[in-house]
Structures are given as C-alpha cells and as structure tokens.
Amino acid sequence: MRRSILDKNDRLAERNRGFFRARGLLVLNVLSSPGSGKTTLLRETIRRLGSRLKTGVIVGDLATDNDARRLGEAGATAVQITTGTVCHLEAEMVARALKQLDLTGVGLLVIENVGNLVCPASYDLGEDLRVVLLSVTEGEDKPLKYPPIFQSAGVAVVTKMDLAQACDYDRDTAIANLRRVAANAPVFEISAKTGQGMDAWCDFLVRQHQALKTRDPLGL
C-alpha cells in the first residue's frame, strides 16, 4: 500500500512539475526539524527579495495557521495546509493549495514542509530544489543521523549562526558531515536575525530563477 501511495504521489508530483515549469516558477521544498528556523528564514528572504523576485508560499503544519500569517505579513501570498496527523506534505495537497494561491507576478514558490527530518524525504512535490536546513543548535551530527533527507538536498542551509558561539557549534565538523552526506549541495551559513549570509542566499535564488529561462521547460 505504501508503494502505491508513493507511485501515485510521484505521478502527481510530475504533473505539478510540468505546471510549475509552464508558469516559469522556481519552486523550493524547504525541509528541516521542527524549530530549525524555516519560517524566520523565509520571512527574511521574502522581505529582502521584495520586488526583485515576488514570492508565493505554501506552508504545511499539523495544526495552526501561524506560519502563513507570519509570511503573509512579510509580503508573500501565502496558503496554509494543515495536515492533521500527517507527517509530511504530498503532491496532491500542494496541487489543492495552488488553487487558492494567486500566482500573478510570482517567480519564486516556496513550499515549507512539515517540520520533520524523516518522512518528507520520500515525497516529491514537483519542486526544482530541496532546501534542507540544519540549525547550529541541533548538533553537528544530524546529517549522519538522518541521511536520507540530507542525501536528497539540492541546497543545505545552516541556520541560527548568531547562536553558534552560545551553543559551542563546531563548524568544521558540521560542514564535514554535510559534505559526507550531501557532497554536491551548496552550503549557505545564515543568520536571519543578524542578516549574515542573507545577501548570498537571495542572490543565489535570483540566479536560479534566471537560469530557468535558459532551460527546456520540460527538462528534456
């Protein structure tokens, strides 16, 4: 049964992908533990990108619409998915949420997944890029302890760099562990609070969006 759920999800994810490409959207699937700073990073990203790259957001949580409200206040068009007891987003949930999202002028669509370092790894949503966050407060060994999700990362973002000293963050070990599991993913080290690393991150997203125009939209 799990096999057929995943097969169905993979088909619907490809349909989403075709839709996203036809609309010229750069789509991120943002994954991390609960409380790694996904929403704070996105809020600051939306604020800084401003009119350079208009952002739409789909946010998944078991309960509450706190995150969609926070991101809406930052200037994004935002839709909340509440999953109840489901531990991950699926392609079909994203497709349904898209119906509620005004995509006029939107170039970047960010899907903030349920906070979970395990299950969302198995569910393609049709995204261009998986962004996996690791907060400095979580410990340097997380890439080794949750390998599937870090292996699937297109980009890794180390968050809460402002807390690095207070929690004795060992940068060399963390980066080495990321490299072992996600060898080819670019790594950004960011504090959304102080702004450290935010310019490089936003420039990266703008470049990725521009690069879409030079790609065959159906990726063939």
Q: Select from 21-29, 92-100, 118-126, 200-208 the region that touches a second copy (CB under 8 A).
A: 118-126
Q: How far is CA 12 from CA 93, 94, 95, 124, 129, in A?
A: 10, 10, 8, 9, 17
- Taking CB under 8 A as the criterion, which residues in 58-117 touch a second copy? 61-64, 66, 85, 87, 114-117
Options 22, 118, 200, 211; binder of a second copy; rule CB under 8 A: 118
Options 98, 137, 154, 197; binder of a second copy; rule CB under 8 A: 137
Closest alpha carbon to 36 in 179, 158, 153, 140: 158
In whole angstroms, give the CA distance from residue 160 to residue 65.
Answer: 23
Would you count residue 51 as binding a second copy (CB under 8 A)? no
CA Rg, the chain, in Å?
16
Would you count residue 126 as binding a second copy (CB under 8 A)? no
- Taking CB under 8 A as the criterion, which residues in 1-40 touch a second copy? 1-2, 33-35
Provide CB contacts within 8 A for 67, sequence distance 6+: 39, 59, 61, 78, 80, 112
Q: What percentage of the chain's residues is helix, strand, coil (to nearest 5)? A: 45, 20, 40
CB of 166 to a second copy, least distance (A): 4
Options 147, 154, 197, 217; binder of a second copy; rule CB under 8 A: 147
In whole angstroms, give the CA distance from residue 38 to residue 60.
Answer: 11
44 neighbors 71 (Cβ within 8 angstroms): no
Would you count residue 124 as binding a second copy (CB under 8 A)? no
CB of 77 to a second copy, least distance (A): 21
Q: Which residues bind a second copy (CB under 8 A)?
A: 1-2, 33-35, 61-64, 66, 85, 87, 114-119, 121-122, 135, 137-139, 141-142, 144-148, 160, 163, 166-167
